Amino acid sequence: PVCRLMDYGKFKYAESKRQHEQKLKQKQVVIKEIKFRPGTDDGDYNIKVRNIIRFLGEGDKAKITLRFRGREITHQEFGLALLRRVEADLAEHAVVEQFPKMEGRQMVMVLAPKKVEKAAAKPAKVAKPAEVVAE
């Protein structure tokens, strides 16, 4: 058929329902931010790393911001060492999406959760030998 007669209101309704379903299937990318300072001590560091692991476990990305205040900006190597330590501690949970770079007075690094392989998630089924019944 070249053309077909139809109810335009019904067509618009079906179209809007289809678009709504498509919108529900999309996943929003959420970026959680954790702020460090060059002098962040071990206790606070461990809590922040634990929170980053939780964010990555939920499937969110983590933005790690290291803020320099005052004359701390002259010793950027301390900040870079801290971010490298975070990267090493989270190597099994995350991949670096954006390597450390300076943005004004702060250094920023973005981590994304590692992809979980489906083959590793499901254990392989082992074939059991058939039992032989002796009579």
Closest by CA position to 112, among listed 96, 101, 100: 96
What's the length of the chain? 135
> For residue range 88-127, what is the model confidence (pLDDT) as tens digits?
999 998 999 999 999 999 999 999 998 866 655 555 566 6
Question: Which tokens go with 20?
Answer: 């709504």
Q: What is the pLDDT of residue 45?
A: 93
- Homologous superfamily (CATH) of 31-120 is Translation initiation factor 3 (IF-3), C-terminal domain (3.30.110.10)
> For residue range 28-87, what is the model confidence (pLDDT) as tens digits?
888 999 999 998 899 999 999 999 999 999 889 999 999 999 998 898 999 999 999 999
**Gap between the Cα atoms of 82 and 86, Å rounded:** 6
Domain boundaries, the chain: 31-120
